Chain A
Amino acid sequence: MTTLLNVKDLRAYYGQVQALHGLSFSLSEGSLTTLLGANGAGKTTTLRAICNMVRSTGGIEFDGKPLNHRSTESIVRFGIAHVPQGRGTFTTMTVEENLQLGAITRKDSAGIVSDIERMYAHFPVLKQRHTQQAGTLSGGEQQMLAVARALMLRPRLMLLDEPSFGLAPLVVRDLFGILGKINREDKVSILVVEQNAQLALELADQAYVIETGRIVMSGNAKDIANNEEIRKSYLGY
């Protein structure tokens, strides 16, 4: 399998504070990879560094092309859709406008219309609420909307930051089921950051564990899930 995303010796800074200390990992085309780790380990920072939303040094290559020093909005045009922590919903706009915004860089109006219908098929609740202000949706619905908005880009890679955050366990199961389906059927590579390690490992094929800004463990998701020592010392379950 070809490498889609290659991150090398990534260091990131918030002002004077260094959050990532030379982090390296890669993601192959079509895979569903998860970054695990405790609070403050640097998971969110890693995603933000990929989209140049935080000052960083080191190499980030997407499909062989360097992403460093490109603006956040131009990185989107490579086909990288980022669902930020807290979902980034345009709360004062309607559900349908949120979906249209996801496709704002695309030029094919016919494709956009059919993709909106496709999203409504994936997430029927969004169709019911398509004229409603997005801020009035429940947390789970907003997370579905955020994923749908990201898919409207027809991304090659989707970055998901804590999709399970604040959601009821049943809703999380649903959502992860849909993510797996999108990965298999729409061939979207996914990099998901999670605190819910158990669930993420069930879903993912590759996994990396971060601790204080460094990768401390990597491998096949199944192997990591089955390794009691790693689970206990890094993942806490």
Chain B
Amino acid sequence: MELFTNQVLAGIATGAIYACMALAVVMIYQAIDHLNFAQGEMAMFSTFISWQLMQWGVPYWAAFVLTLALSFVGGIAIERILFKPLAKAPILTNVAGFIALFAIINSSAGLIWDFTIKQYPTPFGSAPFLGSQLISTHQAGMIGVTVLLLLGLYFFFQYTKIGLAMRAAASVPESARLVGINTSWMIALGWGMASAIGSIAGMLIAPVVFLEPNMMGGVLIYGFAAAVLGGLTSPFGAVVGGFLVGIFENLAGTYIPGVGNELKLPIALALIISVLVVKPAGLFGRHIVKRV
């Protein structure tokens, strides 16, 4: 029983990271109808920036906040420079854009910081959480930060004017323009927020997977699995999907004979395919009730 609880809690902790990545992917998908394959690389680059800041002597939380701000601005810059001009281009052009972005960021990180694996600090420590062997303080910290982030985002989208405007721009762009919303900037804002959310995921997972240019590859695949499981049109679904994938991954690794650590990633991919076959819109995919 203790093994089970332990695996579930650990799954929730990594699931929190998948939830952040899935949410970042869904935010951009809602805004421009494309999957951002470079989301993980953007998060990795942000994490390197925070590491660099700490190397220069900036304290952890100051580096954390500064990285959030820089990632936000960086996300907006990427949209303005690369994807705004591609807005009316065919799907495959956009896909090529995302792959190019992936390669550019990955190689730049390798060029600047090289490909050796680096230690990344945790502000929470890694002692047992509240004296319990079930979960470490860093895992508890991952869950705590993610929950705060999700509450903040919920409040933002539900109760602020700009959140309302962003939702409107994503759901019916033409009507949004007709009530005076600058939809183009709402898309840029979505990119900025997705990039900042990704940077949080990167900084939280880096102590676990260690810092290197390919650190987010697996994480992003889990994030995609989470987004597909929950439904690409539902931010709420993406978050639930993230936690489910995290728990599922751990339980499968523990209890299904022969899966172990090696087959965890294929399990995530199998999950994507199964969900797409059985329920293409995902568990919480939007079911628009419409009368004509």
Spell out A's residues near B (CB within 8 Å).
51, 53, 71-74, 76-77, 81-82, 84, 88-93, 97, 100-102, 104-105, 133, 135-139, 149, 153, 166
Contact = CB atoms under 8 A, between A and B. Distances in A.
Among B178, B289, B292, residue most surrounded by chain A Cβ atoms (within 10 Å): B178
B291 A73 contact: no
A133 B182 CA distance: 24
B258 interface: no
Given A89-B175, A93-B168, 18 more contacts: A51-B178, A53-B174, A71-B182, A73-B180, A73-B183, A76-B177, A76-B178, A76-B179, A91-B172, A93-B167, A100-B164, A101-B164, A101-B176, A104-B180, A135-B290, A149-B179, A153-B179, A166-B292
A138 B171 contact: no
A84 B290 contact: no
Contacts of B161: 100, 104
22 contacts: A71-B177, A71-B182, A73-B180, A73-B181, A73-B182, A74-B180, A77-B180, A82-B178, A84-B175, A88-B175, A88-B178, A89-B172, A90-B175, A92-B286, A93-B167, A100-B164, A101-B164, A101-B165, A101-B168, A104-B165, A104-B180, A153-B180
B288 interface: yes
A137 B289 CA distance: 10
Contact of A84 (B164, B165, B178): B178
A18 to B, nearest CB: 22
B175 A76 contact: no
A136 B180 CA distance: 25
Nearest to A133: B289
Contacts of B180: 73-74, 76-77, 104-105, 153
A173 B183 CA distance: 35
B172 A88 contact: yes
Nearest to B233: A92
A93 B172 CA distance: 10
A135 B179 contact: no
Contacts of B168: 90, 93, 101, 104
B171 A137 contact: no
A135 B291 contact: yes
Nearest to A142: B291
Contacts of A101: 164-165, 168, 176, 179, 181
Given A90-B172, A93-B171, A136 B289 contact: yes
A194 B176 CA distance: 24
B181 A104 contact: yes
A97 B179 CA distance: 12
Given A97-B164, A104-B165, A92 B182 contact: no
A218 B178 CA distance: 28
B264 to A, nearest CB: 35
Contact of B164 (A51, A53, A82, A104): A104
Contact of B171 (A73, A81, A92, A166): A92
B179 A105 contact: yes
Nearest to A83: B178
Contacts of A93: 167-168, 171
B29 to A, nearest CB: 15
A104 B182 CA distance: 11
Nearest to B178: A82
Interface string B271-292: 0000000000000001011111
A189 B177 CA distance: 21
A142 to B, nearest CB: 8
Contacts of A92: 171, 286, 288
Contacts of B165: 101, 104
A82 B175 CA distance: 9
B231 to A, nearest CB: 13
Interface string B145-179: 00000000000000001001101100110111111
Nearest to B161: A104
Nearest to A132: B289
